Amino acid sequence: MIKKVLVIALIAVIGFSLMNVMLQIPFGEKRETVGDYYLQKSPQELKVANSVTAIVVSFRGFDTLGEVTVLFLAAMSLASIMYRRKRKGDIEIRAKKPSSRILQVGAQIIFPMVVVLGAYVFIHGHLTPGGGFQGGAIIATASLLMLITYRKFKVNHNTITWIESIAGIVFVGIGMTGLLKGLTFLQNFLELGELNSLLSGGIIGIIYVAVGFKVAAELTGVIDTVLLNNRPDNNDNN
């Protein structure tokens, strides 16, 4: 009883102090001009049609590098906990029966289309909605479809590690090239091109392609690790 009263009192105090702060902010009023700045500068100076991409990769490029690092660390720690080599007596979590013919044929038709869609999304990240993270997630979904449909579909972890490492090196290397040319980290040093063409935006397109490869490889590795490496003794619970 005392515990509950204490909790309610604590919530009331926190709510009151938060409300005091929130009431100071006028509702629906324009208080900062940074949004207008981005909307003006991204087509004019960076020649990027999708201003979300301009913010994520150029204005806030360093944050994106941090995000990629966080994803990499998460995937790596998951793999270090879950991944192990196959031993005798391991039971795979995948279905024991082969999946139905309809699913197999459908997956064969859909898989290349989804991969192409994902590649389109991250190659055209600076022109249309989407970008590296979205395209990578779409490609990972395609490989997930193959993994749950075909029991013999294997993902090579060495290849995944190579793709991940090369993509990360490309990202950091492009940033460092900016430094070598006498600019700041991740500043544009290529020709900007024309607005709304594929080769516009300088380094933004290259960075998003690298991010797309990296995210696709990481998420595929995560799914494969979770799907295939299970302890046999936990498997008969359900």
Cβ proximity to other proteins: between 147 and 186 the closer is 147
Residue type, 168: G
- Shortest separation between residue 208's beta carbon and other proteins, angstroms: 12
- Under the binding rule (CB under 8 A), the answer on residue 66 touching other proteins is no
Cβ proximity to other proteins: between 187 and 229 the closer is 229
Q: In terms of residues, how long is the chain?
A: 238
Using the rule CB under 8 A, give the single segment among 14-22, 162-170, 204-212, 224-232 that binds other proteins: 224-232
* Beta carbons of 188 and 203 less than 8 angstroms apart: yes
Out of 41, 67, 134, 172, which residue is the one contacting other proteins (CB under 8 A)?
134
* Beta carbons of 128 and 50 less than 8 angstroms apart: yes
- Under the binding rule (CB under 8 A), the answer on residue 121 touching other proteins is yes
- Shortest separation between residue 200's beta carbon and other proteins, angstroms: 18
Of 152, 158, 156, give the one whose Cα is nearest residue 94. 152
Out of 148, 166, 170, 190, which residue is the one contacting other proteins (CB under 8 A)?
148
- Under the binding rule (CB under 8 A), the answer on residue 77 touching other proteins is no
* Beta carbons of 48 and 126 less than 8 angstroms apart: yes
Per DSSP, 55 falls in state: I
Which residue in this structure is represented by tokens 């944050």? Answer: 63
- Under the binding rule (CB under 8 A), the answer on residue 223 touching other proteins is yes
- Shortest separation between residue 138's beta carbon and other proteins, angstroms: 5
Per DSSP, 26 falls in state: P
- Shortest separation between residue 156's beta carbon and other proteins, angstroms: 20
Which residue in this structure is represented by tokens 């009192």? Answer: 9
- Under the binding rule (CB under 8 A), the answer on residue 155 touching other proteins is no
Cβ proximity to other proteins: between 80 and 238 the closer is 238
Kindly tell me the sign of the dihedral angle through the C-alpha atoms of 196, 201, 205, 206.
Answer: positive
d(Cα 100, Cα 149) in Å, to the nearest integer? 8
d(Cα 82, Cα 4) in Å, to the nearest integer? 40
**Region 83-112 residues binding other proteins, contact defined as CB under 8 A:** 93
- Shortest separation between residue 14's beta carbon and other proteins, angstroms: 23
